[in-house]
Amino acid sequence: MCKATILLIVGIFAAVQAVPYTYDAEYTWVTGNLSVAVPANAVIGGFDPYGYYTYVGRVAYSSNILPARVVAETGIAHFNTATISHKLVNYHLLVTQSNVTFEWIRSFDGYQEKNAISVGTTGWNERVFICRAKADGGLLIGTLFRSKQTCIIKSDDLPLRQFDKYETLVARKNVC
């Protein structure tokens, strides 16, 4: 009986720990890659060190949904975890809606801004938010985990940067 109870407890614990990541479904995201034109209503997130505009995107990577900066000219989504940076060619783009206005507002220390845009969750069920900061000659989109309390940005050959002051993407509902 004791072994059965222990196995049941271990099984429940394993099931709770194996929560899969989930996409945020509150806003409109469209599938993108180099063979698909960037929609005219895609949300601009900044610019990279080479002068290209970057669009707000998200990617699924290693049991996480993460924010990405998408360069339309190359069709590549640049993103980072808390430790590494990576690139993918398949991503989702955030697009505007008639009843919502997106804007960047100043934030700090992982503060929970009202109506902050989440891209989805991690494998451990933590919501992931979109942030940006000036870094490496660009205005780059980064990853905001509330538990880390910083905007994490890593680009290709440059070191990982963590910003305690940054901008967060929020949504404002249009009235009328």
Supply the pTM of this predicted model. Answer: 0.85
Q: Is residue 8 part of a domain?
A: no
Residue 57 lies in a domain: yes
Q: How many domains does one find in the chain?
A: 1
C-alpha torsion sign, points 80, 53, 56, 139: positive
pLDDT for the residue 13:
38
CB distance 167 to 106 below 8 Å? yes
Q: Please determine, for residue 52, whether its predicted confidence score (pLDDT) is greater than 60.
A: yes
- 4 located within any domain: no
Q: Which of 33, 37, 24 minimizes the C-alpha distance to 65? A: 24
What's the chain's average pLDDT? Answer: 86
**Structural domain boundaries enclosing 57:** 20-173
